Amino acid sequence: MEFDLTGRTAFVTGATSGLGRHFAKILSASGAAVALAGRRSDRLEAVKREIESAGGRAAAINLDVTDAAEIAPALDKAEAALGPIDILVNNAGLSVFGLAADISASDFDKVIATNLRAPFLLATEVARRLVAKKREGRIINIASIGSFRVLPGVTAYCVSKAGLAMMTQCLAREWARKGINVNALCPGFIETELNAEWFASDKGKAQIEGFARKRLAKESDLDGMFLLLASAASRTITGSLLTVDDGQSL
């Protein structure tokens, strides 16, 4: 199994924190140049410095993924700095908590725009560039176990991730003969800075007790599957929805 990404260029959305930051760092550690996309300039620069201090190459790209007009210019900037993009990681995402009847139309639209519309626009733009250059590529959509099971209180999120899973398979089928592999990684609940407060609460602890292994997964638990999808080792893997959830959905 060869996970060496030397000579490859990756574009990672939501790279300022959490899984996006983690994915960017392991891509770099495996040899890829990494374009870090996000809205918080200070955090982008901090991640860029981390990667460069470890000997990697990175570029900070300011991008609001919900603004369609920003996508092509952001990719242009990334390619000017690092070279043609081979790997796209659609990681940026958000959720709105609450009962479905209490969620506003604007909040629902915001979740869909970030979690589903943006990955579609990024994937199609990257694919156009790969096809024009006759290059193979890897597109990794970060979905969720919420793609195929109900997670109470986050209906909009589950709807968006279910759509992302189907989009993954549709694009994989459409681009199969172009050498562009499209797959989705479906994590379970992972401890990050965004959910640390919840899982430290009594209700959060009770939720963990309901998991098959009574624990949260770690960001690093995704590394093997993620690098498989990003590398040449996944040559015959496309259109797959790969669950890595420590048995939480059982």
The single residue listed with the structure tokens 């189907």 is: 166
> Per DSSP, which regions of the chain are E strands?
9-13, 33-38, 58-62, 87-90, 137-142, 180-187, 241-244
Sheet containing strand 9-13, strands side by side? 58-62, 33-38, 9-13, 87-90, 137-142, 180-187, 241-244
Helix (H), strand (E) at residue 153:
none
Position 51: which residue type?
A: I
Task: Based on the residue annotation, tell me whether 157 is a catalytic residue of this protein.
Answer: yes
From the list 3, 23, 157, 226, the catalytic residue is 157
b/e per residue 55-75 (b: at least 16 CB within 10 A): ebbbbbbebbbbeeebbeebb
Structure tokens at 171: 């694009």
Question: How many helices, marked H, and strands, marked E, lie in the chain?
Answer: 9, 7
- Name the percent of the chain in helix, strand, coil, to the closest 5: 50, 15, 35
Catalytic residues: 157
